[in-house]
Structure 1
Amino acid sequence: MDITFRESLEGIGIDQLSGDFFEGWPNPPSTPTFLKLLEQSYAVELAIDEETGNVVGFIQAISDGVLSAYIPLLEVLPEYQGKGIGTDLIKRMFNRLGDLYMIDLLCDNELQEFYEKQGMQKASGMVIRHYQNQAGAVNS
């Protein structure tokens, strides 16, 4: 299995995003909404299976481009997990965002160790979650 990494959506369409990236989500975004969220990101990194041409992992960042960035999603398809793809994606994104003062993300407790290995530190935070809008904003 050969995986290549890209920082562009050029040539990526709905057909290449067909995997179950949102496994376990009660209201996952549709594939067109998924593509739109990637297109509207400040930065994206994609992991692509060279054999199939499909995206098998991604990370996105939103940012003001001056001081801060937030990483809302880092996802790797279940069958590709444990192969270092997530680590490569986050390292590539950290390199791209390295000139910014802060890079933040929120994760479940069981993922904190993974992010600590990538050089991140635990911090407290607050969130609001509108799970009924998990599929995407109505006005998007």
Structure 2
Amino acid sequence: MLYQTSTEGITPAMLEGFFDGWPNPPSREKHLQILQNSYRTVIAIEEETNQVTGFITAISDGILSAYIPLLEVLPDYKKQGIGKELVKRMLDELDDLYMIDLMCDEELQDYYDAFDLKRSTGMIKRNYEFQSGRNTL
């Protein structure tokens, strides 16, 4: 598995199969925009097929804080350590910041305990009509 921290060479065609279960997922073109516009991105690529198998993104002010909104691994590649490697690499990328926040469903908290993240409470708002991405045309 190849890991890279840039979107160089990534095309929408390489982003097939993500956002499984989302009722209104972003298109592959919007997905690429998400990766390109993130403060930091780590992408896992299967070298034999040149397909993206997983990714993680962070948004940040670049000074004090960062938020990790997305971690995805394709279903056929789960349980192979790809997600763990993506999180590890992203935390290394953000290591010089004071605050790194991540929101997850309660059933996923055990997974993130292994990365020395602390459980917390938070509030969220979701505008599901924009789940596929804001129209920027």
Same-fold status (TM-score > 0.5)? yes
How far is 1:34 from its partner?
Answer: 0.4
Structure 2 residue aligned with 1:8: 6
- Match of residue 94 from structure 2: 97
For residues 139 and 32 of structure 1, the distance between their equivalents in structure 2, rounded to whole angstroms, comes to 12
Alignment correspondent of 1:124? 121
Residue 117 of structure 1, CA deviation? 1.0
Does the alignment pair 1:80 with 2:77?
yes
Flag structure 2 segments of 5+ consecutive residues without an equivalent. none
Deviation at 1:138, TM superposition (A): 2.2
**How many percent of aligned residue pairs carry the same amino acid?**
53
Q: Which residue of 2 aligns with 1:56?
A: 53
Counterpart residue number, 1:24: 21
CA distance in 2, matches of 1:110, 1:21: 20
- Secondary structure of the 1:59 match is strand
Alpha-carbon offset, residue 48 of structure 1: 0.4
Count of aligned residue pairs for this structure pair:
137
Amino acid at match of 1:15: A
Task: Measure, in 2, the Cα distance between the counterparts of 1:17 and 1:25.
Answer: 15
TM-score, length basis structure 2: 0.97
* Cα distance in 2 for residues equivalent to 1:136 and 1:16: 19
Partner of 1:22, secondary structure, is coil
1:113 matched to 2:117:
no
Is it true that 1:45 corresponds to 2:42 in the alignment? yes
Taking structure 1 as the reference length, the TM-score comes to 0.95
- Partner letter of residue 14 of structure 1? P
Give structure 1 stretches of 5+ with no counterpart.
Answer: none
Separation in 1, partners of 2:26, 2:14 = 15
The alpha-carbon deviation at position 139 of structure 1 amounts to 3.1
RMSD across aligned C-alpha pairs, in angstroms?
0.9
